[in-house]
Structure 1
Amino acid sequence: MATGNLRRRLHHADVDGRKNEHVDITDVDSLDEPLLGRSSYDNRGSEVYNPRRQDLWDDDDDDDRKKELLHWSFLFSNLIAQWAQWLANIIASSGSMFGRLFPFTSDNENGNPVYLTPLQEERLDNLRRRLQISFDGSRIEHQDALRQLWKLAYPSREIPPLKSELWKEMGWQGTDPSTDFRGGGYISLENLIFFARNYPGSFQMLLNKVQGQRSDWEYPFAVAGINISFMLIQMLDLQSTVPSSKPGIRFVALLEQDENAFDHLYCVAFRMLDAQWLVKRASYMEFNEVMKSTKTQLERELVLEDVLAVKDLPSYTMLDK
């Protein structure tokens, strides 16, 4: 199916994707078994006819030849099986990049192999290193990042002290933004900065809540951004050795095309959350419900066959630069 056709059917108002979504995802954590070639059994359970094997037994007079062939075939099969098991044990126990490139690591649901190219592994490792950095309000570079975020959000306003009532205007819960991280990842602040730099139109629209009919009790912008970062980390299974969820596996494929795929996906998720918020006419107490709905919709779009990059996601068209 062409991406254009898909996008025409998945309108912005239909953010749940329930009316027109053609993909039936009842369990996004499961994988369909790949087509590995023709089975040795047909769909009735009977053995498929093999002409070469049949011809072998046409000569009823050559019993010795049959026995000899059976004997050598048995030995050869055992040898191959033992060699394969020996190689698998060595690769599985080594934990090397060589082991990652062979299909001995599988997903938890169906045992389907997960392959990582060297480029995918490098970019996935870089992303994981970012995830390991906790926000530390005492570090100068983290303080500078907060100031940078303010400057991007309010270019014409003076940057306030790191503890100020003004930070609440951006959607932090208190006067000190560092308390909202609660030992969480610095990557969530990086995501907000990336959003402001690369999609300033959508960033300003969500920050200032300029679109749609809003509730009196709105979601806090900055804190919502932190929650989106953590939601994506869990959804994409980024803390596992190799992602095993279907969205996680598809995301690793996106890393092949774009090393900033996580940051771009974050921007899509934030825009999608705001669209869900408006459609559901939600208020602050319904934030968790809207977040779950956003996660479900994002999972649906990630597993579409023609999504080869974040920009192929139907909801990407909602972003405004």
Structure 2
Amino acid sequence: MTPGTLRRRLHHGDVDGKKREHVEADALDFLSEPLLGSAREVASLKDDYESDEDTLDEKKRKEKLHWAHLFSQLITHWAQFLANIVIGSGTIIGRLLPLPLINSFGSEKKNRPVFVSPLQEERLRLLQQRMGVPFDGSRLDHQDALKQLWRLAYPSRELPSLKSEVWKEMGWQGSDPSTDFRGGGYISLENLIFFAQKYPDSFQNLLHKKEGRRSDWEYPFAVAGVNVSFMLVQMLDLQSGPPTSIVAANFARLLAEDEMAFDNLFCVAFMMLDAQWLAKRASYMEFNEVLKSTRTQLERELSLDDVYSVRDLPAYNLLRR
């Protein structure tokens, strides 16, 4: 594609702007069915009680039911305790047992909170604090961060003013980049800076669209990065407290190994998005579809039972320093 090729801009609100619905479920919902027998066996047990009514007085029958109920509760709480230990990826047991065994405790669609270690809990809390910071164009530290991103992206070019048409060349929608952080917040800018510092070759390749056969109607780099950040927050359910899915629980495991796991995962996800873009020979109107397929692929990789760090993800090999 020649330098004069016109590239239209992507509007952030058009890309995966709808938040997933999240329904809280009771932690013991997946154990609501009988643990000790089938429905037929339970019905048979009920018939036994009815046939014994002539021989057992009311006091003994109630006592028997009372102890059966207590025993059932004991089994329920013990099963939940074991489930928390297994799913708690920070524990030794969590590392030794494969994910299919974890899944046997119930479908992740029920959004059950899972066990996290104190270290995981603290790092999740700090990450959620970062997510809660909106980009504020009036703050000097936020202005400095935006300037830093420009210097990392174009080290040999003069820094433009904070409101300039030149910012569009990086892939912002207009002359004021601060208006494009609505969905991603300040953390999305931090993600882009981290990407530029940690993996400069990959960052420059994506920024300048150096590899592959490109569409005449390309996705804008900077706004795409904001959308990747937003997608990760949704996928990992980071705004809902403790992890409630296998993917979110496994991310907490990555966070225990690397406090910058979210930023590293952002870099992997951005590279995956570009690879999907090229594989599909996509253009601007297909960006939302590419973002969704990127999320699906990333969820699969995060569900692998031998992934203990971002480096273990197959797509990590896409990155170059």
Q: Deviations over 1:65-86 (max 9, x none)?
A: xxxxx99998776667789999
Contact 1:135 1:183 in 2 (8 A): no
Query: Partner of 1:141 in structure 2?
Result: 141
Query: Partner of 1:237 in structure 2?
Result: 237
In structure 1, what is the Cα distance between the partners aligned to 2:317 and 2:108? 33
Query: Partner of 2:284 in structure 1?
Result: 284
Query: Which SS does the other structure have where 1:142 is aligned?
Result: helix
Query: Partner of 1:297 in structure 2?
Result: 297
In structure 1, what is the Cα distance between the partners aligned to 2:295 and 2:113? 25
Query: Partner of 2:307 in structure 1?
Result: 307
Shift of 1:247: 1.4
Query: Which SS does the other structure have where 2:109 is aligned?
Result: coil
Contact 1:168 1:175 in 2 (8 A): yes
Runs of 4+ in structure 1 over 3 Å off: 39-42, 70-86, 106-113
Q: Quick one: which amino acid aligns to residue 225 of structure 1?
A: G
Task: Give the alignment of 1:151-300 within 5 angstroms.
Answer: 151-182=151-182, 184-300=184-300
In structure 2, what is the Cα distance between the partners aligned to 1:113 and 1:208? 42
Q: Quick one: which amino acid aligns to residue 131 of structure 1?
A: M
Count residues in correspondence: 248
TM-score by length of structure 1 reads: 0.69
Unmatched segments (≥5 aa) in structure 1: 1-28, 48-69, 87-100
Shift of 1:246: 2.5
Q: Quick one: which amino acid aligns to residue 159 of structure 2?
A: I
In structure 2, what is the Cα distance between the partners aligned to 1:217 and 1:303? 34
In structure 2, what is the Cα distance between the partners aligned to 1:304 and 1:183? 29
Query: Which SS does the other structure have where 1:308 is aligned?
Result: coil
Q: Deviations over 1:219-263 (max 9, x none)?
A: 000000000000000000001122213211211111111111100
Contact 2:184 2:227 in 1 (8 A): no
Q: Deviations over 1:178-234 (max 9, x none)?
A: 111237410000000000000001000000100001011110000000000000000
| Shift in CA distance, 84/181, structure 1 to aligned 2, threshold 3 Å | same
In structure 2, what is the Cα distance between the partners aligned to 1:174 and 1:71? 74
Indicate the RMSD between aligned Cα atoms, in angstroms. Answer: 3.4
In structure 2, what is the Cα distance between the partners aligned to 1:280 and 1:107? 31
Q: Deviations over 1:45-96 (max 9, x none)?
A: 989xxxxxxxxxxxxxxxxxxxxxx99998776667789999xxxxxxxxxx
Q: Quick one: which amino acid aligns to residue 201 of structure 1?
A: D
Shift of 1:274: 0.4
Q: Quick one: which amino acid aligns to residue 231 of structure 1?
A: M
In structure 2, what is the Cα distance between the partners aligned to 1:216 and 1:187? 30
In structure 1, what is the Cα distance between the partners aligned to 2:307 and 2:73? 40
Query: Which SS does the other structure have where 1:219 is aligned?
Result: coil
Unmatched segments (≥5 aa) in structure 2: 1-22, 24-29, 43-60, 78-90, 92-105
Query: Partner of 2:98 in structure 1?
Result: none
| Shift in CA distance, 72/266, structure 1 to aligned 2, threshold 3 Å | same
| Shift in CA distance, 143/177, structure 1 to aligned 2, threshold 3 Å | same
In structure 2, what is the Cα distance between the partners aligned to 1:279 and 1:108? 30
Compare the two structures and name the one with the higher helix fraction: 2
TM-score by length of structure 2 reads: 0.69
Shift of 1:107: 8.0
Contact 1:133 1:185 in 2 (8 A): yes
